[in-house]
Amino acid sequence: MGEKIVPNELFFAWVAEELKQGKSVKFKVNGTSMLPLIRSEKDFVTVTPINRETSISKYDIVLFKYNDRHILHRVIGLADGNGKFRLRGDGSYFAEESCTYSDILGVVTQIYRGESTKAINPNSRTLRLYARLWHSMPGFFCRFALKVLKRILR
């Protein structure tokens, strides 16, 4: 199957519509904000739609709308009194976003390394532990580790 390149607005309009219809969507990730777990232009993710019964847990990776952009980041804080979730990419050590439940389009249920057909479960105990440790480390350590990892993963 050939690869098509379309503008982000058009692509994510299609993704949002598919998720709204209850379909899961698999696509190649573009961007380094989820390094080291998800590599830009190499890895694929499957995003599964959420519904009113779906609960969002700390350390889930979600696709959400933020300032008219679609972003794939990790939940680092559950809904507060204002109904806002705190989110941050694994590749970001300071910047955070917040969104409401209605801004979340879906949750990542599978990660694929490159062209591999073997799925990685982002909710496995190992990856949950990784997320907990990674997001509890001081910013200066993450900054250093990310510089090293970006050179290695090129």
Tens of pLDDT, residue by residue over 18-31, are 999 999 999 999 99
Could you tell me the sign of the dihedral formed by the alpha carbons of 110, 5, 30, 19, in that order?
negative
CA distance 86 to 5: 31
The residue among 62, 59, 31, 44 whose CA lies nearest residue 119 is 44
Contacts by residues 126-134 (CB-CB < 8 Å, ≥ 24 positions apart): 127/37, 128/59, 130/37, 131/59, 131/74, 131/90, 132/59, 134/90
User: pTM of this prediction?
Assistant: 0.90
Could you report the per-residue pLDDT of 25-83, keeping only the tens digit for each? 999 999 989 988 999 999 999 999 998 888 899 999 999 999 999 999 999 998 777 78
The DSSP 8-state label assigned to residue 113 in this structure reads -
CA distance 141 to 119: 29
- Contact indicator for 58, 78 with CB cutoff of 8 Å: yes
Question: Please, what is the end-to-end C-alpha distance for the chain in angstroms?
Answer: 25
pLDDT, position 43:
95
Mean pLDDT of the chain: 90
